[in-house]
Structure 1
Amino acid sequence: MSIDSYRFVMIPMLPVLMQATKSARTTMAEWFDCYPPRYPWMVASDYCIGDINKPNDVLSFVIIAPHDTADNICEYIAGAAPKDLKNTKNIPVGLMQYLTCEVPVTFSISFVLKRQEALLRAHLKVENMLDFVPGAIAYLEHRLEKYPAERTVEVHEEMVTRFKAFGRELASKNLNAKLARQMHLAAATSATVFNNLNLAKQPKAIRWISDRDALIARHDAVVYDLTYVYYMLQAEIHAMGEIEAGRTVPTTQADLGFEIPEQTGKHRYDEIVRLPDYLAGTLADLNNETMTLSRDKFDVVLNNVFVNSKTNWVVQLLSGEGLVTARSALFRGQHQRRQ
């Protein structure tokens, strides 16, 4: 069954995201060249979405190489940066050094939308998101039939149950459409990061560690199911284009593992999530027209992490004339903060 036979709300955006991150993917492959394929990798994410006092909505992802254990990385960050960005006044040097280390241990991609884009509301319409549900279920049924070893029937049925619950919410009068759009954006952008990592390093597995957030908790973390569907679809779309162009593509996809944050208390990997937290918080504050920031601490992160960096990328999402476009950017030169 062809991909074109499904009605997916974000399908037109998936190849756009892959094209916008092509240069980042090439740089990532070169940066992480010392690591052999079939290793397990981690990706940490955090989001700054819906803050009316910020000019941007941001989804940040930090890819962490298999250079040490998660526990040891947590221990280092706990000592270097004991607080998140919101609760710190002075940016810890140790955290910035980890994000810009001369040894290849991290690589980040952040997706930025101006707040007036309203999470691409003109393109992520409720009726389209509702249409997505039966299409996604059909796609899962297709993959279960074609690749029965990919997941058990029990796991498949649990995914279908979560999708149906999401569909009922989309059809209800009490729908939180903004949150639903956040979930689709988080799924599409995370799938893009995972596919870039898969193409660059052919990892055995990717563990996704996300901050505790409403979009993660909704319907027993159905956003992970959305991500899985987008991850597989995007890989198929990209592979078809590469094969048609006479290029080779990896024959395997990394297994995705999703870390479910605790609903209360301390996040088990709170320290690791602190990495994308500093990135998302800084980019959310950046005025795209004047290139100004509201506080010195954001300026410190921008200048010491993003400016002149080849390993901390920004992708800006734009909409207009019925299309969603994306472009990648790197900050050059020394940024000067203006009030």
Structure 2
Amino acid sequence: MGPSVTEMLLRTTINNQEEELSSFLQKHNEEQWILAADFCLDDNDYYNNTCAITILPLNEDPRDISERIAKAIPKDIKKTQSIDPSTLELLRSEGVFHFVFLLEGHRGAIGAASEDSRLQANREYVQKMVSDLIAAGCPPANLKPFKRLLEASKAKSFNFRLMADLVAISSLLAFVAALLVRNGALAVWLFPDRDKITEWCDGVYSDLVQNYISGVLSVVDEKVYDCEIKRAIPSPADGKNSWIDSFVRMPDYMAGVVAGWNIENNLITSEKREIIFINNIVDSKNVILLRLCFDKGLSIEKIAVSRKRTNITASLPGQVIK
């Protein structure tokens, strides 16, 4: 998992030939972008594990963008009783684009079936990553977050499930960020939900994203890009409620809606999620929905939802990552 997931996503045709995504990137053509992200993992009330990433051009003061989002989406989806039309309008506006990923079996992607072997496999994964960085001449300052992760992996309490979540989310962020880098982005700001995944080891996820992007693009494109990955960090003065949290509400809605979608029976868990699904997922021009299945490798499927039917197509039929 990790860079191999990012690489496989980049090698699929969907990122180069999606007309709507290409039009969105060409229309805005900015040098700085924001990626807001949220995840719905291991929630027994939902059918799917999901990660949603919303792309926004950074073409004005981010606080002004945050204020506009907060007006249209004042609360997280779980705390919202009814859906205001302004919410639907913002989610489908021309100024944003969403990726929604369904994750199946990602926690078993590193290691074998038993928990003991999986624990050891995750420790070896971190050790190899750090060794490879040292061998590649990574500057000591850049190594610090990875060494913190290495120390965490040696502890008896090492959470290999959290490690799998960290690698999966970082891989997906790296994929979407790499699309922006290919389009000329010089800086990509990461605005993910503040939780145990993104706060672990002082936010090492952003270092993984940077590492995955530079490594994968040098292989796939045989080119070195000049782009900085920046992590949004709230000011201590903000307390628990920071202006950066408003950015997360868009992917929060997208991740929550798809998490509550029973694909086989085409059922949605609640009326408010059904409203968003119909207005912002079905026949949408600014959403790409992908299912990643980690079963003896990795398969990627694109899910296209229309009012007539749901189409599920394999992006790379027959190809898997070991």
TM-score, structure 1 as length reference: 0.81
Does residue 1:167 correspond to 2:137, yes or no? no
Separation in structure 1 between the aligned mates of residue 155 and residue 197 of structure 2, nearest angstrom: 18
Q: 2:86 corresponds to which letter in structure 1?
A: G
Alignment match, 2:257: 282
Q: Are the aligned partners of 1:133 and 1:164 in contact in 2 as well (CA < 8 Å)?
A: no
Pick from 104, 107, 121: which aligns with 2:108?
A: 121
Alignment match, 1:58: 50
Q: Are the aligned partners of 2:51 and 2:100 in contact in 1 as well (CA < 8 Å)?
A: yes
Shift of the 35–144 alpha-carbon distance from structure 1 to 2, 3 Å rule, reads farther
Instruction: Name stretches of at least 5 consecutive residues in structure 2 with no aligned partner.
Output: 112-117, 311-322
Alignment match, 1:218: 200
Q: How far does residue 142 in structure 1 lie from its aligned partner after superposition? A: 5.5
Separation in structure 1 between the aligned mates of residue 246 and residue 286 of structure 2, nearest angstrom: 20
Pick from 107, 118, 124: which aligns with 1:131?
A: 124
Shift of the 328–24 alpha-carbon distance from structure 1 to 2, 3 Å rule, reads farther
Q: Could you tell me the percent identity over the aligned residues?
A: 21
Alignment match, 2:177: 194
Q: How far does residue 79 in structure 1 lie from its aligned partner after superposition? A: 1.6
Alignment match, 2:289: 314
Alignment match, 2:101: 111
Shift of the 179–88 alpha-carbon distance from structure 1 to 2, 3 Å rule, reads same
Q: Are the aligned partners of 2:52 and 2:98 in contact in 1 as well (CA < 8 Å)?
A: yes
Q: How far does residue 94 in structure 1 lie from its aligned partner after superposition? A: 1.5
For residue 329 of structure 1, give the secondary structure of its aligned residue in structure 2.
strand
Shift of the 16–126 alpha-carbon distance from structure 1 to 2, 3 Å rule, reads farther
Alignment match, 2:85: 93
Separation in structure 1 between the aligned mates of residue 179 and residue 195 of structure 2, nearest angstrom: 24
Kindly provide the CA deviation profile for residues 82-112 of structure 1, in whole angstroms up to 9, marking residues without a partner as x: 11101001122222212212xx311111111
TM-score, structure 2 as length reference: 0.85
Q: 1:205 corresponds to which letter in structure 2?
A: A
Q: How far does residue 304 in structure 1 lie from its aligned partner after superposition? A: 0.7
For residue 33 of structure 1, give the secondary structure of its aligned residue in structure 2.
helix
Does residue 1:299 correspond to 2:289, yes or no? no
Q: How far does residue 173 in structure 1 lie from its aligned partner after superposition? A: 2.2
Does residue 1:182 correspond to 2:165, yes or no? yes
Alignment match, 1:150: none
Q: 1:121 corresponds to which letter in structure 2?
A: G
For residue 290 of structure 1, give the secondary structure of its aligned residue in structure 2.
coil
Kindly provide the CA deviation profile for residues 9-28 of structure 1, in whole angstroms up to 9, marking residues without a partner as x: 43432322223473476432
Alignment match, 2:313: none
Length, aligned pairs only = 301
211-220 or 10-19, larger mean C-alpha shift: 10-19
Pick from 324, 327, 331: which aligns with 2:301?
A: 327
Separation in structure 2 between the aligned mates of residue 232 and residue 86 of structure 1, nearest angstrom: 36
Q: How far does residue 274 in structure 1 lie from its aligned partner after superposition? A: 0.6
Separation in structure 2 between the aligned mates of residue 210 and residue 278 of structure 1, nearest angstrom: 13
Q: Are the aligned partners of 2:37 and 2:192 in contact in 1 as well (CA < 8 Å)?
A: yes
Q: How far does residue 144 in structure 1 lie from its aligned partner after superposition? A: 5.0
Separation in structure 2 between the aligned mates of residue 312 and residue 26 of structure 1, nearest angstrom: 11
Q: How far does residue 271 in structure 1 lie from its aligned partner after superposition? A: 1.4
55-64 or 165-174, larger mean C-alpha shift: 165-174
Does residue 1:71 correspond to 2:63, yes or no? yes
Q: How far does residue 207 in structure 1 lie from its aligned partner after superposition? A: 0.6
Kindly provide the CA deviation profile for residues 226-264 of structure 1, in whole angstroms up to 9, marking residues without a partner as x: 222212222122214xxxxxxxx6x52421111124685
Separation in structure 2 between the aligned mates of residue 111 and residue 194 of structure 1, nearest angstrom: 15
For residue 300 of structure 1, give the secondary structure of its aligned residue in structure 2.
helix
Separation in structure 1 between the aligned mates of residue 255 and residue 292 of structure 2, nearest angstrom: 15
Q: How far does residue 160 in structure 1 lie from its aligned partner after superposition? A: 2.3
Q: Are the aligned partners of 1:46 and 1:210 in contact in 2 as well (CA < 8 Å)?
A: yes
Shift of the 138–177 alpha-carbon distance from structure 1 to 2, 3 Å rule, reads closer
- Aligned Cα root-mean-square deviation (Å): 2.4
For residue 307 of structure 2, give the secondary structure of its aligned residue in structure 1.
coil
Kindly provide the CA deviation profile for residues 1-60 of structure 1, in whole angstroms up to 9, marking residues without a partner as x: xxxxxxxx43432322223473476432222313345x2111101111111221111111
Separation in structure 2 between the aligned mates of residue 315 and residue 222 of structure 1, nearest angstrom: 25
Separation in structure 1 between the aligned mates of residue 131 and residue 109 of structure 2, nearest angstrom: 26
Does residue 1:259 correspond to 2:242, yes or no? no
